[in-house]
Structure 1
Amino acid sequence: MASPLRRHAKLWIPLAFIAAAAVAVWFVAVPAESDGDPDYRDPTLPVAERVADLLDRMTIEEKAGQMTQVAVDAVQGDAVAERGIGSLLNGGSDALHDTPEDWAAMIDGRQEQALDTRLGIPLIYGLDAVHGNASLPGATIFPHNIGLGAAGDPDLTERAAQITAAETRVAGVHWTFSPCLCVVRDSRWGRTYESFGEDPELVSQMATAVTGYQGEDLSADTSVLATAKHYVGDGGTAYGTSETEDYLLDQGVAELSEAELRRLHLAPFEAAVDAGVGSVMVSYSSNDLGDGPIKAHADSYLITDVLKGELGFDGIVLSDWQGVDQISLDYAESVRTAINAGIDMVMVPFEYERFIDTLLDEVEAGHIGTDRIDDAVDRILTKKFELGLFEDPYADTGNADLVGSPEHRAVAREAAAASQVLLQNDGDLLPLTGEESLYIAGSGADALGRQLGGWSGAWQGTVEGVGEGTTVLEGIQEAAPGADVEFSEDASAPVVDRDVGIVVVAEDPYAEGVGDAGAGDHDMRLSGVDAAAVDTVCGAMDCAVIVLSGRPIEIGADRLDAIDALVAAWLPGSEGTGVADPLFGVTPYTGTLPVTWPARVSDEPVNVGDPDYDPLFAYGSGIQT
């Protein structure tokens, strides 16, 4: 019998030629790396040179992967390496893990897959740390932006962002989808509390959050990449009706002139670009500047001409969650339109195979130019280099003990106190002495979840709350240890022999869409239980009503007459003692309204400067003590 070698001898020569040809094709398709360490691995070179070197070595498949951001739970097997996925995120602010070390281990595991590829390009991981790293149980949670707008202190906003960045990066996360620089023009919008206010000048001043997040050195273990969102006009979407909906706010249409869009909604993004913001997230909404509505994700004029050209933004333009899908029923057309409009990275977030394959098909067909792809990947790689991920791709959890530390919580308490707005104070009831006998009621008095609001441990938040914190009731007991306190949430306990009543009313948590007035249970009015508690307590004694809400709510004129003191506490975060501090004169009331407070929900939209402006409390109102 002939040997195996001799039996296949005739096949060996043609197979050798085939193998040689395959190698030749590989070196044509995949740019060859030079001997030794490539330039992109040299940290002494300028970032621009490193990016250019790496970009020149990449295949079109590798570039497409870098433009893809995927929900971490959707990634199957070794897909990070096999498809060269450039970014991961977790949806909303879901608390996927309990400790910074657990978070870091999960992200590092995915990072290891990314590094085990031909070029070893690291992942960038993002999440919605919008008022603290609320995905991490025990983290310090600050007031939502509307409260920081009420405080009106750009330095305080910057310090809150610095702490959030430190408590986010320590968990292995490199990128926060914050700050929201929307200018809210109708408080029926469920995202009202994500805005710093209705005045573009105020919102622009709070772009200090960008420098707070990013710090002086983006590669530091206390810095994260910031995201200015949602570009542009989402705070100006109109309320109306359609065949299928009785409200059109979230993801709706802003109908205004280009001059109005620039004056009201573009200005804060210009401030963010000037501050060096690293990324901008595009809005779900559309703008109608007079020629019909155009989806923001499809608007090449506003993204490429204005943002990248006129404003000189050189960072990453990121889509919102499945936002590209909304452009057209034809998925290929959606991808083609979005990328050509100037979107650099697409938050897929699930069907990453479909997105990558579609993007590659569109490039091969000539519908998306390679120059556009290279521009997008250049921007993405630049931020990865600036974040130091090529030198230090894994998490540094050495400062894990800073998460929720007393020092951090002290700043959150300061921010909560500064955000309190005293709207009514008949007979100078406030501040209290701290020696009174108190009757405390209301759904917000002892409910951490209600004072945290949405984007806290879950996208829509939870009534139960997550993590650690001090409720308003606990804060009162801490700030006024000499007070004699009786608590009855629904005011069912007898209201006798008490000096002062304090009723803490609250909205249940919500976020975008669900929170739109008219979309469900969130109607911007007192709940029946809270209304009854106010009537009972304020009908029996001097009383203060504290409102925990993401926006103004309708109190009722008759009810207001019975209230001695009214405080807008917004969504103060994890430190309820900050609500109690000005209540007892530990700190003064200094906050002012960042949005107009109408007498009735039906008065919306109402903004300072409107004709016939006649609100219950005007923009900028706030009694100082």
Structure 2
Amino acid sequence: MSRQWMIRAAAMLLLVTVTPAAPPAAAVAGARAAALPYQDPSLPVATRVSDLMGRMSPDDKLGQMTQAERGSVSAGDITAHRLGAVLSGGGSAPSPNTPASWADMYDRFQNAALATPLGIPLLYGVDAVHGHNNVVGATIFPHNLGLGATRDPALVQRIGRAVAEEVSGTGVDWNFAPCLCVARDDRWGRTYESFGETPELPSAMATIVTGLQGATLNGPASVLATAKHYLGDGGTAGGVDQGDTRLSEQDLRAIHLPPFKAAVERGVGSVMISYSSWNGAKLHGHQYLISTLLKGELGFTGFVVSDWNGIDQIDGAPGASAHDVRTAINAGVDLVMAPTGWRQFIDLLRAEVQAGRVTQARVDDAVRRILTKKFELGLFERPLTDRAYTATVGSAEHRALARQAVARSQVVLKNAAGVLPLARTGNKIFVAGRSADDIGMQSGGWTISWQGSPGNITPGTTILQGIRNTAGAGTTVTYSRSGSGIDSSYRVAIAVVGETPYAEGQGDRPGGLGLDAADLDTIATLRASGVPVVVVLVSGRPLDVAAHLPGWHALVAAWLPGTEGQGVADVLFGAVQPTGKLPVTWMSGAAQQPINAGDGKTPLFPYGFGLTYDPPQDDTTPP
């Protein structure tokens, strides 16, 4: 979701001051428990929804269709305007940014919602796209592209469960994940959010929905999942973010729809609409794709949410307009993310309903879908943070799972003369590169801040630390970021290089996909020593390395592994055998973009390629 303004707003980085409702809403809810049919958990959800809707005012209903950003809303606003949802944008966190602070913030917001006459709890949404990545200290898992390389849907489901526990421990009950896009052009800055370039791979990884939501939505640590971004955002012309996907309906259905169908079959609770267009028509206003195809043909019974100010783009003019609002709602959008302009959205929607341009039936359908998920989540019975899960944030168990995922995601692309695996004992290893000892670099975008950043931004194990941890008796490990100081006495040099963190928009690279000058200089310094060079590439997509590859003894695609860099070292030393397979086709040059399996272009490495150590393979020729 676009967050261009949030890094400028100090309010986004401060805890919103929220005064608990008086009397405490939880006590009020308990005192009147089961006093009315909608408050009776023994009744069917549909019965409870119908009873509640019969008691709701027009303002209650419009509020349920509205989501505000935490930095632009107060407790009084939530109560007065009956707001149904709040979110944290990327990097928008309480201060201090700790799990307990998040839980306290959530409970204060939730108490404000429960203080309304009908006591309808709110949903709180975050982009926990590779772990609970807005929270300092959370376990940061590999971004989706790395998980796609594991080819392990069961592992991905376990990751979803771990993320749900950490998210639940901070009170949050709604995750804007998974991204089920099919990335068809590596120039796109969201490529790393995709599990892979073929529809089969993201479809298989839809198991993460089950991990997040659990067997039932009202189970322990159940978090509402969101399939995004519907539909075709990975297929835009030129890989331009929020661009235009120019395909026939047959190709759109064949390439981009299957992962969403898989998510719907798994009962995904919400679907987020893409900023992009299909053959020039904005998805946020596309009634055929939202209502006819998603809700009708696929039978999606959850609710549809817009992206951040996504409806504002429908008419092509800045800001939200009456045309934007009625077009989006009539197309089938149920809940609108209007982060700062939520008051205006409510006013516009009210006017459209009063004028008959949005029917009451459409409003009631949207509210029914939203309330159904709130009841199914058990929010009416358990609205506040389950503090039993707070200690799971960054737990040893979850970090061990992330380490396993990192190791399984490594793809060995070249291994000349069997330079890998490295000997643990009696070795002399030189490590260099910008990404070798930097948690921020190896985690990428959507980590603590929206775009991510280099540096020691959250606890974890860097790749260098992992190498040092694994080195055994008689092995020395020397590190120099630039490579200076290496000489011919070393047995191997490891260059850990790649991309500086980025997220959507800023991550688009239409002008080329090569390594930057600093990385190339580091590798050149290592090569000049005559020592065999192993390149570990930390990146959110394949990079243009074909011209340099002949001078490297080995190449490992590490993707964006997150906080557990030990998993990279596990594969470098052979503690874990490499099993990762390319989730995307690796170009032989940037001019080949877009390049995908089956398009007739000759790649450097094909989709699905990946070497193993046993038996050793010492060239780059696919089997």
Q: Give your verdict on TM over 0.5.
A: yes
Q: How far is 1:537 from its partner?
A: 1.1
Q: Answer yes or no: is 1:458 the counterpart of 2:446.
A: no
Distance 1:575 1:169 in 2: 22
Deviation string, structure 1 residues 47-99 (Cα, Å, up to 9, x no partner): 01000100111111110000000001101451101110000001114443422
Q: Which amino acid aligns with 1:615?
A: P
Deviation string, structure 1 residues 152-191 (Cα, Å, up to 9, x no partner): 1000111111100100011000000000000000000000
Q: SS of the counterpart of 1:398?
A: helix
Which of residues 610, 615, 618 is equivalent to 1:622?
Answer: 610
Task: Determine the structure 2 residue equivalent to 1:607.
Answer: 596
Distance 2:246 2:406 in 1: 35
Task: Determine the structure 2 residue equivalent to 1:287.
Answer: 278
Task: Determine the structure 2 residue equivalent to 1:46.
Answer: 44
Task: Determine the structure 2 residue equivalent to 1:490.
Answer: 482
Q: How far is 1:452 from its partner?
A: 0.4
CA contact 2:213–2:222 (8 Å) conserved in 1:
yes
Q: Answer yes or no: is 1:131 the counterpart of 2:123.
A: no
Pairwise mapping of residues 182-581 of structure 1 onto structure 2 (< 5 A)?
182-239=181-238, 249-288=240-279, 293-328=280-315, 329=317, 331-435=321-425, 436-482=427-473, 483-518=475-510, 523-539=512-528, 540-557=530-547, 559-581=548-570
Q: Which amino acid aligns with 1:547?
A: L
Task: Determine the structure 1 residue equivalent to 2:99.
Answer: 100
CA RMSD of aligned residues (A): 1.4
Q: How far is 1:495 from its partner?
A: 2.4
Distance 1:87 1:94 in 2: 16
Task: Determine the structure 1 residue equivalent to 2:16.
Answer: none
Q: Which amino acid aligns with 2:251?
A: E
Q: Tell me whether 95-104 or 565-574 shows the greater mean CA deviation.
A: 95-104
Deviation string, structure 1 residues 560-600 (Cα, Å, up to 9, x no partner): 11101100000001100000001101000000100011122
CA contact 1:170–1:221 (8 Å) conserved in 2:
no
Pairwise mapping of residues 12-91 of structure 1 onto structure 2 (< 5 A)?
37-76=35-74, 78-91=76-89
Distance 1:124 1:327 in 2: 26
Distance 2:326 2:210 in 1: 34
Q: SS of the counterpart of 1:546?
A: strand
CA contact 1:503–1:533 (8 Å) conserved in 2:
yes
CA contact 1:122–1:390 (8 Å) conserved in 2:
yes
Q: Tell me whether 479-488 or 159-168 shows the greater mean CA deviation.
A: 479-488
Q: How far is 1:534 from its partner?
A: 1.0
CA contact 1:421–1:589 (8 Å) conserved in 2:
yes
Distance 1:415 1:35, change over 3 A: closer
Q: Which amino acid aligns with 1:564?
A: H
Q: How far is 1:221 from its partner?
A: 3.8
Distance 1:110 1:430, change over 3 A: same
Distance 1:376 1:418 in 2: 41
Q: How far is 1:286 from its partner?
A: 0.1
CA contact 1:444–1:451 (8 Å) conserved in 2:
yes
CA contact 2:79–2:115 (8 Å) conserved in 1:
yes
CA contact 1:278–1:316 (8 Å) conserved in 2:
yes
Q: Answer yes or no: is 1:150 the counterpart of 2:137.
A: no
Q: How far is 1:399 from its partner?
A: 2.7
Deviation string, structure 1 residues 468-508 (Cα, Å, up to 9, x no partner): 10000001111223331110111122323100010001210
Distance 2:486 2:544 in 1: 27
Q: How far is 1:465 from its partner?
A: 4.4
CA contact 1:252–1:285 (8 Å) conserved in 2:
yes
Distance 1:139 1:481, change over 3 A: farther
Q: Which amino acid aligns with 1:312?
A: G
Q: SS of the counterpart of 1:78?
A: helix
Task: Determine the structure 1 residue equivalent to 2:582.
Answer: 593
CA contact 1:160–1:212 (8 Å) conserved in 2:
yes
Unaligned runs of 5+ in 2: 1-31, 614-623
Distance 1:494 1:563 in 2: 16
Q: How far is 1:464 from its partner?
A: 1.5
Q: SS of the counterpart of 1:69?
A: strand
CA contact 1:228–1:280 (8 Å) conserved in 2:
yes
Q: SS of the counterpart of 1:440?
A: strand
TM-score (norm 1): 0.90
Distance 1:216 1:81 in 2: 32
Q: How far is 1:397 from its partner?
A: 1.2
Larger Rg: 1
TM-score (norm 2): 0.91
CA contact 1:300–1:340 (8 Å) conserved in 2:
yes
How many residues in Structure 1 have an aligned counterpart in Structure 2? 575
Deviation string, structure 1 residues 390-411 (Cα, Å, up to 9, x no partner): 0111111123222111111110
Distance 1:93 1:273 in 2: 29
Unaligned runs of 5+ in 1: 1-33, 240-247
Task: Determine the structure 2 residue equivalent to 1:175.
Answer: 174
Distance 1:352 1:532 in 2: 50
Distance 2:166 2:472 in 1: 31
